[in-house]
A = this chain, B = another copy of it.
């Protein structure tokens, strides 16, 4: 595996002042740079320059950046993506602030994914010499890092194939029309690490975002985040609860522009040799929200 992780989410917000209150004051992300109408944030446990880029004007996803371990692999991904039929272009250092050379791929689902190997290393507040286990003065939720995104695609099976065949991800879990081998894939959770998902795709319109997620330490931090959401008038969609899929603990909520966020903790340690779990449609609600086993309309229909 050469893709390391989701390196950054670049998203649109309707009102930057409100967005800064949300991502800065409530989520406790570190504001790293504000330039040309864009604001760059990172979580306290991230070493690279940023993991979230906000841009005013509209909602939804501009693009996702995945960091690649070995720069030599980028050419391989380029070839594979072209063979897969994707539009691919090279991007050069500076096109993205603090990000090095790489490629930009337009997925069959119209989402834009960038691959890069370099981002300016800025380190963390606790440092690397006898570091404390968390920064002494975190703000609000104090999210340590960005974790994954869930996007929608008209053909989720094709998107699943893209991430596996082009980027070398492996499927940890799937929702399918049946348990048969030729069943249609309705949703796919894919990993390029030992977390249960670095990307997930479910059926829906092309190019849309269901949510992106911040990882928290555990179920207690999920509850604490929920309390802060109440205090700061952050609209909650669902949770706290536990997923069947990934086993992760979760609250879904909205940023002031209506982009859905998630705080996520736990989940099993995934490995490429772990058999892919299959959920059938009749148990989908249990797969998504294990405890309550109910989906609300908002959760299944609101996208940005």
What residues of B have a CB within 8 angstroms of the CB of A249 in the complex? 223
Complex contact A290–B1 (CB within 8 A): no
What residues of B have a CB within 8 angstroms of the CB of A69 in the complex? 272-273
What residues of B have a CB within 8 angstroms of the CB of A47 in the complex? 273-275
What residues of B have a CB within 8 angstroms of the CB of A133 in the complex? 227, 230, 242, 244, 247, 290
What residues of B have a CB within 8 angstroms of the CB of A131 in the complex? 244, 277
A257 interfacial contact with B, CB 8 Å: no
- Residue of B130, B193, B286 touching A283 (CB-CB under 8 A): B130
Q: Interface 1/0s, chain A 284-304, versus B by CB < 8 A?
A: 001100111110000000000
| Identity of the chain B residue whose Cβ is nearest the Cβ of A251 in the assembled complex | B291
Complex contact A291–B194 (CB within 8 A): no
Given contacts A240-B240, A273-B67, contact A280 B227 (CB under 8 A): no
Other A-B contacts than A218-B266, A240-B240, 15 sampled, CB-CB below 8 A, are A4-B271, A121-B275, A128-B277, A129-B279, A130-B283, A131-B277, A133-B230, A194-B195, A215-B269, A218-B220, A219-B219, A220-B220, A223-B242, A240-B241, A240-B291
Q: Interface 1/0s, chain A 26-44, versus B by CB < 8 A?
A: 0000000000000000000
- Using a CB–CB cutoff of 8 Å, the interface residues on chain A facing chain B are 1, 4-5, 45, 47-48, 67, 69, 121, 123, 128-134, 136, 144-145, 179, 193-195, 215, 217-220, 223, 226-231, 236, 238-242, 244, 247, 249, 251, 266, 268-269, 271-280, 283, 286-287, 290-294
Copies in the complex: 4
What residues of B have a CB within 8 angstroms of the CB of A145 in the complex? 269
Query: Shortest 9 CB-CB distances between A and B: which pairs?
Result: A226-B291, A220-B220, A194-B194, A130-B283, A236-B292, A133-B247, A128-B277, A218-B218, A193-B194
Complex contact A136–B231 (CB within 8 A): yes
| Identity of the chain B residue whose Cβ is nearest the Cβ of A145 in the assembled complex | B269
Complex contact A291–B239 (CB within 8 A): yes
Looking at the assembled complex, report how far the CB atom of A57 sits from the nearest CB atom of chain B, in whole angstroms.
29
| Identity of the chain B residue whose Cβ is nearest the Cβ of A194 in the assembled complex | B194
Interchain residue pairs with CB less than 8 A apart (22): A4-B271, A4-B272, A47-B275, A67-B273, A129-B279, A130-B244, A130-B279, A131-B277, A132-B231, A133-B242, A145-B269, A193-B271, A194-B194, A218-B266, A220-B220, A227-B242, A227-B291, A236-B291, A236-B292, A239-B291, A239-B292, A251-B291
Q: Which of A123, A275, A287 has the most CB of B within 10 A?
A: A275
| Identity of the chain B residue whose Cβ is nearest the Cβ of A134 in the assembled complex | B227
Looking at the assembled complex, report how far the CB atom of A214 sits from the nearest CB atom of chain B, in whole angstroms.
12
Within the assembled complex, what's the spacing in Å between the Cα atoms of A165 and B294? 43
